[in-house]
Structure 1
Amino acid sequence: MGCECSKLAACCWDSEQNGPIHEAPEAAENAEKSEPDELPAFCDYTIEQLRMATSGFAVENIVSEHGEKAPNVVYKGKLENQKRIAVKRFNRSAWPDTRQFLEEARSVGQLRNHRLANLLGCCCEGDERLLVAEFMPNETLAKHLFHWETQPMKWPMRLRVALYLAQALDYCTSKGRDLYHDLNAYRILFDDDGNPRLSCFGLMKNSRDGKSYSTNLAFTPPEYLRTGRVTPESVIYSFGTLLLDLLSGKHIPPSHALDLIRDRNIQMLTDSCLEGQFSNDEGTELVHLASKCLQYEPRERPNPKSLAAALIPLQKENEVPSHVLMGIPHGDAAFPLSPLGEACLRMDLTAIHEILEKLGYKDDEGAETELSFQMWTNQMQETLNSKKKGDVAFRNKAFRTTIECYTQFIDGGTMFSPTVFARRSLSYLMSDTPQDALNDAVQAQVISPVWHVASYLQAASLFALGRENDAQIALREGSILEEKRNKTS
């Protein structure tokens, strides 16, 4: 493992011998990069906007840890402008005071930093309380650290996570937001570049009284058990538990970890996957920082700025991008595309038409059967006739007629068919009206949130609109959805 237990134990627990953690001017180097240029100002959203963005708060779009059973559920979504978002929907009893919720949300919404998954807006209508944040597509620290599938997280990346998290907390503290509720490995997310970000949701209380510390009691700061309140020092205690997570690759109760340190049994604390990846000094310093953060007396714990200062000298492989260290596909890196994905990338509309025609309505999940039972009224018969005429026109590449007939079917409002929207989307592309095509592709995804065809058609529409970056994102999303679909089938 490259660490000698006796050296580690002697050095990491004797805090008096080591003295205080000194600050360095470089500590805030990246934390000062506030106000990301690409982010809009905090704004209010309507419940209808967010319902549309999340396909009606579809179960398929839930990304929070406990799914539907979580007290406050987080969904992934996409706004009309194609910006991806995360939407936290509070339970109806969490924020009865509208004014208090808005004040809290707008205060957190003033923060803008590259180390945060920033809050973009909120929604407060009737009993609904929702927060809207940047969407981080590359999972949580818990996923990469505890439940990895392809490779364990490398030591340099673990050190980078620790530094970026300290810088995020330092930035929040500098802006007067030094309380973070329930800091844990699920609150650290990875962005498109594979960089770790701290979720802004933890900066909001989960309830009006602030008693929102929800981790297992074995990981709870001692003072919380006495007072039931989160303090800035409680946040540092939680940071210490995260340092232990990074070192061990497991969620070890702090009391057990401290016993191991006192008994000089550090091998039991260190992730076996890290063997040979770090030196005695690096391991010693990380354990020393963790033990300082886990001091029983809150006043003896360091502050975020001094933690960041201590972590900067430990950084390794600074020139290697995070996505490389993480093994995450990035940007223009090649990713596998199916024939439909390839056709959308090339904007080969004829090939797309051929594939959609062969696909038929088999992805409408019983819609055709349902329609056959609805033929008992003249209005229904008329609507069905419009669809049948649209199908014939689509097959014969009479795209103007296709649009007219499918529009009559959609306006009839008897049934929602993602396939009809997909076919009309392509017909709009064939008719050189890409914005209408994009609108229909989005509607297809609203009806069927995990349908890869809808994402692919959004990509084709965005390419036609000249929005290359958004198109590449939609193309990748389509590829991921199709791969998942193929695995489950």
Structure 2
Amino acid sequence: MAIKKMTWRSLFPSCFNPKSHNLDSTSQVSKQNSASRISLSDISDTGSSFCASDLSNSKFASNLHIFTLAELKVITSNFSSSNFLGEGGFGPVHKGFVDDKCRPGLEAQPVAVKLLDHDGDQGHREWLTEVVLLGQLRHPNLVKLIGYCCEDEHRLLVYEYMARGNLENHLFRRYSSPLPWLTRMKIAIGAAKGLAFLHGEEKPVIYRDFKTSNILLDSDCNAKLSDFGLAKDGPEGDDTHVSTRIMGTHGYAAPEYVMTGHLTTMNDVYSFGVVLLELLTGKRAMDKKRPAREQNLVEWAKPYLKDHHKLDRLMDPRLEGQYSSEGTKKVAALAHQCLNHYPKSRPSMKHVIKILEPILKYTDIPAGPFIYIAPTEEKMDRTLSGCKETDEAKLKENGNEDKREAKKENGYNRRRKGYRHKHRIRSHAVYSDTALYKTLRNETKSPGNK
């Protein structure tokens, strides 16, 4: 708690005194040239002199715009409540709009401006991690960082605007429309590609906070990972893991990481398995409102994942059965692999993508419940008349005049006469096939129709 009372100026003096780190800045730039990207360990070390003022000298500076606080106030209408989008561990997020009048060459577009809450869960180091990482990495399934602001004690980030918000809201909000099965699979594949990209870097990146609230969706429901403040460089060389203090979100973190603090890319794979479960069930990873045995989603769902005959009990009821049975089995088996207690037994994210992508082509999705609309009496008479004319035309065409006469003699006209004098059928909006058949049969057998 004592740290929160200290100012950014006292914690990071070099950020506010450019002259004090000129030599360090030069050495840092040379270090950048010798590697594919700046290592996150360089900025996570409290003794490191690398800070916001070094960013303008970095090789990726051309990818980002540096905004002033005054400009961001104009962009967001002074952070108006009408532009408020939400709030996470980093701080509040507001919608804004930028164009080339704000910065020459800047594409006109809506943006999301994230403001660091100094009393929140994250701080300057997480802000700097986000800037350094997203300033260097570009991928269709990572949210795009447009720029940042580092002014006095203010820390802000400017992202591309994601029209559909985050996956958490679509899955768990009571009054939101349920996500269709194929949309859920599309989102899972997009998120998997984002993780696979991070893990496949020359210096692997461990996301460390993969969860539904950090998966953003654009207008076409393309998934993009966001919030990289907790990201860490993965082990290199002969190292098997990275030792860190335990960070992340309860319910998503891998058990071996929680117990030991040993971090590997397999921790992200476990978190991905949890999100797959949430996509299947429509339930949160942790929910104290559920019965005691169901509060931890992984513990409750794991037995069902191994038994295909019990998968229906697991599935989100809001899907109303509109999902691929074969696809569900594949996803359940994959989730079970990702949630394996032994990290080495979990699949890589590249393997996850290979399993998920074919599921989009599965066609065994039910077309929906059958509903029969019962015709009115007038429509039924027209239908019967039309059937009679069709039958006569076919008989005449086949030259079976004798059969047509025999059909009339055997009671065709008598049955038609019965319908002419039948009781009026009550008009109902919807009939099942069985109910309609019983109604017509009973009316035909009534005394007035004999």
The TM-score range, normalised by the shorter chain, is 0.5 to 0.7
1:162 corresponds in structure 2 to 188
Match of 2:211 in 1: 184
Q: Deviations over 1:383-412 (max 9, x none)?
A: xxxxxxxxxxxxxxxxxxxxxxxxxxxxxx
CA distance in 2, matches of 1:71, 1:116: 18
Q: Does 1:63 align with 2:56?
A: no
* Contact kept? 2:305, 2:333, Cα under 8 Å: no
Alignment of 1:195 with 2:222, yes or no, is yes
Asked whether the 8 Å contact 1:169–1:304 carries over to 2, the reply is yes
The code of the aligned residue for 2:303 comes to D
Instruction: Tell which deviates more after alignment, 247-256 or 80-89.
Output: 80-89
Q: Write the distance in 2 (CA, Å) between the matches of 1:258 and 1:138.
A: 30
| Contact 1:53-1:80 at 8 Å conserved across structures | no
CA change 1:215–1:103 in 2 (3 A) is closer
Any conservation in 2 of the 1:41–1:120 contact (CA below 8 Å)?
A: yes
Match of 1:254 in 2: 298
Distance in 1, Cα, partners of 2:262 & 2:114:
23
Question: Alpha-carbon deviation of 1:274?
Answer: 2.9
Residue 353 (structure 2) pairs with residue 308 (structure 1): yes
State TM-score, norm by structure 2: 0.54
How many pairs align? 270
Aligned residue runs from structure 1 range 47-196, under 5 A = 47-65=69-87, 70-81=89-100, 82-92=108-118, 94-96=122-124, 102=128, 105-147=131-173, 149=175, 151-175=177-201, 176=203, 178-196=205-223
Aligned residue in 1 for 2:64: 42
Tell me which amino acid in the other structure corresponds to 1:180.
Answer: Y
Residue by residue over 1:182-220, the C-alpha shift from the partner in whole angstroms, topping out at 9 and shown as x without a partner, is 211111222133322222x236559xx97573423x443
Aligned match of 2:249: 215
- Corresponding residue of 1:236: 269
SS at match of 2:219: coil
Cα shift readout 1:58-107 (whole Å, capped 9, x = no counterpart): 333332346xxx5522222222544211122223374456xx95465133
Question: Which is bigger in relative contact order (C-alpha 8 A, separation at least 6)?
Answer: 1
Q: Partner letter of residue 141 of structure 1?
A: L
Match of 1:289 among 320, 334, 341: 334
- Structure 1 contact 92–127 (Cα < 8 Å) conserved: no
Of 259, 267, 290, 2:312 maps to 267
Q: Which amino acid aligns with 1:147?
A: R
Give the Cα–Cα distance (whole angstroms) in 2 for the partners of residues 227 and 77 of structure 1: 42
Query: Percent same amino acid among aligned pairs?
Result: 32
Cα gap change, 1:162 to 1:256, in 2 (>3 Å): same
Q: CA deviation at 1:42?
A: 2.0
| CA–CA distance in structure 2, aligned partners of residues 164 and 128 of structure 1 | 33
Report the Cα offset of residue 121 of structure 1. 1.8
Three-state SS of the structure 2 residue aligned to 1:117 is coil
Where is the helix percentage greater, Structure 1 or Structure 2?
1
TM (normalized to structure 1)? Answer: 0.50
For 2:212, give the aligned amino acid. A
Q: Is the 8 A contact 2:272 2:338 kept in 1?
A: yes
Q: Is the 8 A contact 2:90 2:115 kept in 1?
A: no
What CA RMSD, in Å, does the superposition of the two structures yield over aligned residues?
A: 2.9
Residue 164 of structure 1 and its aligned partner are, at CA, apart by: 1.0
Q: SS in structure 2 opposite 1:225?
A: helix
1:89–1:227: structure 2 CA closer, same or farther, 3 Å change rule? Answer: farther
Aligned residue for 1:63, secondary structure, equals: strand
Any conservation in 2 of the 1:105–1:204 contact (CA below 8 Å)? no
Kindly indicate whether the alpha-carbon contact (under 8 Å) linking 2:246 and 2:257 is maintained by their aligned counterparts in 1: no
Distance in 2 between residues matched to 1:136 and 1:78, nearest whole Å: 13
Q: Distance in 2 between matches of 1:95 and 1:165?
A: 26
Is contact 1:119–1:131 with CA below 8 Å preserved after alignment?
Answer: yes
Kindly indicate whether the alpha-carbon contact (under 8 Å) linking 2:96 and 2:112 is maintained by their aligned counterparts in 1.
Answer: yes
How far does the alpha carbon of each residue in 1:156-178 deviate from its partner, in whole angstroms, 9 at most, with x for none? 11111111111111122233453
Rg (Cα) greater in structure: 2
CA distance 1:282–1:101, change in 2 (3 Å):
closer
Q: 1:167 to 1:203 in 2, by over 3 A?
A: farther
1:313-352 pair list within 5 angstroms: 313-316=358-361
Which one-letter code corresponds to 2:207 in the other structure?
Y
Which residue in the other structure is 1:484 paired with?
none
Secondary structure at the counterpart of residue 189 of structure 1: strand
Q: Please tell me whether the aligned partners of residues 92 and 116 of structure 2 are also in contact (alpha carbons under 8 angstroms).
A: yes
Does the 8 Å contact 1:108/1:203 carry over to 2? no
**Structure 2 residues not aligned, in runs of 5+:** 1-61, 101-107, 233-242, 286-296, 364-450
Q: For the residues of structure 1 that align with 2:362 and 2:74, how far apart are their CA atoms?
A: 43
- Between the aligned partners of 1:316 and 1:182, the Cα distance in structure 2 is 30
Matched, 1:226 2:293: no
Tell me which amino acid in the other structure corresponds to 1:159: M
Structure 1 residues 184, 104: CA separation in 2 closer, same or farther (over 3 Å shift)?
A: closer
Q: What residue is the counterpart of 1:399 in the other structure? A: none
